[in-house]
């Protein structure tokens, strides 16, 4: 009589666990994947894979998790929340006081003794005074025009230079790249730069606000690193189809590089919008000042602006808004454009700059 013949009693005594390459065998003849614990769920003991057992998936995942990747405790989470809250408060509170003071009346500002924290009487007189004409209104237009034209020119030049430098077989690739890198550590200086601008006849010209700083070697290297990360097979296929370098750049490279180009354009735009030093050096006519130059002269130094009805602190009249309110309104005009652009470009920072630099 065989061990498996009917009535022998051995048919029901087959081993419950049968380890093998194919897994484990359950009493019903089915096979389980390796490591499931058998038909009793045993691995380290009975019911070890239950919700609270030592071999449960949650416990095993926690045991395999690195120390720095462990779930934070309640105290740690509360501490992080408190720190982030303080940082947000430190950023938003000054902005809140600036905006609120710009909308406050003279009486509310005098009652607060300066910057307003509690809303009182609100008015648009400061913004009306700024937008009614004069140096401040024109400076806003100058800043917008210089920023738009300068950002477009700088981005186009940087993209073309970076694409040429990303082709390692291009003419004089290494010497030109070396010259770009040198400019990151050494500059001609203020006086030679002024002599060049003066020799080109750019004194008291809007081009003096754009051309001296039109190209940044750092931004070119960021673009170059990203362009070098593009699969060369795609570019070679385009060349085989008869496409020239300019067509490859405009139809293949640029659509694949929108993230990094957006970030570089933001860098240039912020630089042009916040620049005042070139205006201080090269512009003698206050009517051509950009907004940041007005902000520096009127808000920080308290200088009366020629050709403007706005006067520094302490000489306001009943017909004029508070001098502090006007100053804060100018600060708001200087901040709002950048605050409006940043949220749309911030998502491209990681992909455009960090990823491009690593691939390069």
pLDDT at 19 over 60: no
pTM: 0.70
> pLDDT digits over 247-305, tens only?
999 899 998 888 889 889 988 999 999 988 999 999 988 888 898 888 888 777 666 65
- 56 band by pLDDT with thresholds 50, 70 and 90: low
**What one-character DSSP code corresponds to residue 297?**
I
- 313 band by pLDDT with thresholds 50, 70 and 90: very low
Strands 24-25 and 31-32: antiparallel
For the chain, the first-to-last Cα distance in angstroms comes to 76
Phi and psi torsions of 201, nearest 5° = 75, 30
Question: In a 3-state reduction of DSSP, which class is residue 149?
Answer: helix
> CB burial class (10 A; 0-12, 13-18, 19+) of residue 263?
buried
The enclosing H or E element of 25 equals strand 24-25
- 63 band by pLDDT with thresholds 50, 70 and 90: low
Instruction: Give dist(CA 331, CA 257) in Å, integer.
Output: 34
Please tell me the predicted confidence (pLDDT) of residue 315.
39
């Amino acid at each position: 009589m065989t061990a498996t013949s009917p009535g022998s009693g051995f048919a029901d005594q087959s081993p419950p666990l049968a380890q093998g390459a194919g897994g484990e065998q359950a009493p019903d003849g089915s096979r389980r994947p390796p490591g499931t614990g058998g038909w009793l769920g045993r691995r380290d003991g009975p019911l070890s894979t239950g919700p609270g057992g030592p071999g449960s998936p949650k416990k095993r995942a926690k045991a395999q998790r690195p120390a720095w990747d462990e779930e934070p405790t309640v105290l740690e989470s509360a501490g992080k929340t408190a720190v982030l809250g303080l940082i947000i408060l430190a950023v938003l509170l000054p902005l809140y006081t600036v905006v609120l003071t710009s909308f406050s009346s003279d009486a509310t500002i005098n009652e607060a003794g300066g910057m307003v924290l509690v809303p009182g009487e609100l008015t648009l007189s400061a913004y009306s005074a700024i937008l009614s004409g004069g140096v401040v209104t024109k400076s806003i237009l100058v800043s917008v025009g210089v920023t738009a034209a300068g950002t477009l020119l700088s981005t186009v030049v940087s993209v073309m230079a970076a694409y040429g430098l990303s082709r390692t077989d291009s003419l004089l690739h290494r010497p030109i790249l070396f010259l770009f890198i040198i400019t990151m550590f050494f500059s001609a200086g203020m006086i030679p730069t002024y002599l060049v601008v003066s020799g080109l006849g750019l004194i008291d010209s809007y081009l003096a606000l754009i051309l001296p700083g039109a190209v940044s070697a750092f931004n070119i290297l960021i673009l170059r690193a990203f362009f070098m990360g593009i699969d060369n097979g795609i570019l070679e296929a385009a060349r085989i189809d008869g496409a020239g370098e300019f067509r490859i750049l405009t139809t293949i490279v640029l659509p694949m590089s929108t993230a990094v180009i957006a970030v570089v354009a933001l860098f240039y735009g912020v630089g042009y919008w916040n620049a005042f030093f070139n205006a201080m050096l090269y512009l003698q006519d206050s009517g051509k000042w950009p907004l940041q130059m007005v902000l520096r002269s009127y808000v920080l130094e308290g200088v009366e602006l020629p050709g403007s009805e706005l006067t520094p602190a302490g000489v306001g009249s009943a017909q004029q808004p508070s001098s502090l309110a006007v100053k804060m309104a100018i600060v708001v005009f200087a901040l709002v454009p950048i605050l409006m652009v940043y949220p749309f470009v911030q998502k491209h920072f990681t992909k455009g700059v960090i990823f491009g630099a690593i691939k390069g």
